Structure 1
Amino acid sequence: MSEKLKDKRFDIFCSPIKLDLFHSITHHNQIWRPDLYDVKIIHRESRECFEHLLNRVHSQTKSNSGRILLLLGESGAGKTHLMRAFRNHTHEHGLGYFVYMQANPNISKYEHYALHQAVDSLDKPYYQLNGDLNGFLRLSNALIEQDAIPKNKIQHLRNSELSQENLAILISEIADIIINQFCGQDLDLIRALLYLQCDNAAIHARVFKYLRCEHLVEYNSKVLGGLSSQDNPLNMRKHWPS
């Protein structure tokens, strides 16, 4: 193979300088990071099958049934690597939200474990090459950036320093507009996601406690406009906007 034709990734693979780039195993904390050295011809059939199913979900012939793609392979065959590729394909094209969870037979309350893993997945940058915007804030933006919501209310929510009471009133007003656009959604969940529009780390921390169905003490509930603790992880996940 001539130097001109040789894949530059081969040089990087053989170089001792970047040993941290290549591993025999893809770990769960790498799933949300784009793989700049992914070789798409590897497991091409599985990739094409996934993309076909994803396109069917977004086609005009939608149905109420779900889609399942089973990846079967020996340990080390590249299943997690494919999950990483699937996740980044989905997010690069803005086609959905990808949640990754490792099976764990030692968990007693699996519904809580599944919810925590889902929340952690959506708390990662939606697509790192486009910036640090995480999945939940992207959802929150999609809810609030609608023609039905006055621009001045959006700016007021994002940029004004409001008291707890006035903030709760403003969020409730916006949530009422949204709930009329999306029938069947959970009003309290909409309100919680709207609190993410505030540039306030303390508020965000309380929102994530709510999303994880963790107990909210009275003061935390007050900060979030009276949102009360949820104790049903399955119900919480069921009502996430999509």
Structure 2
Amino acid sequence: MGLYEGRGALTRAMKDLMLRWQETKENWDDPQTREFEESVLVPLESDLKLALGAMDQMTALLNRLADIAIDAIDRLAEVGVHGIMSCDDWGLQDRPMLSPAIFAQYWKPVYHRVYHHAHERGLLTFLHSCGHIADLLPHFIEAELDVIQMDQQENMGVDNLAERFGGKICFWCPVDIQNTMVKGTVDEVRAYARHLIDAFGKYNGGFIAQWYASPQAVNHSPEKIEAMAREFVEYGAQVYAAGH
């Protein structure tokens, strides 16, 4: 019996999501699944305290969540979904929330279970994380993460990220949402967009452009959004044409 069998509202929500995918082939999100996550999982501060003080219980919880994710991957693969994505913020402004050693010992094996199974079913793997996670990226790469979606890069350095991880993982980014998009001029936004393409895109598949989904919440002006988007499209097309 699958993990979702007999689970009422969650089972129905998953079925509804998969039916919507079959009909529209569009990216989706659903408040029912978010409500499930928020009601079942412990708060972050309690989570980290538990991780440090009771790792047997934490490991059991993480593997239970991995079981649920793997069951969902099987269901989603059956209806032609192309990839899976989670949003797990692992960084503070200047460092990861956990030491890389602790992450590698306890969390990395669980991510690898999920990501490896996704690859076995033909799905790509995506992860969103805010904050300074450069020292965790080697572990995510080894865990078979394909794409890292990060809205901040300046705190780690675009060139540093490209030099260390270019060609090993795909970067999916807007212009840094906390710095250049807020404090920079329109010309600086354009230059940063080009820099992202030059730094990550030279690895032939190493960069996906985007714009931040809630620009008003972080004071992104329409002029800067337009400049970023236009630069991504126009400069990106030039770079792609030159390389092909």
Relative to the length of structure 1, the TM-score reads 0.30
Larger RCO, structure (CA 8 Å, separation 6 or more): 1
Relative to the length of structure 2, the TM-score reads 0.30
**Structure number with bigger Rg:** 1
More strand by share: 2
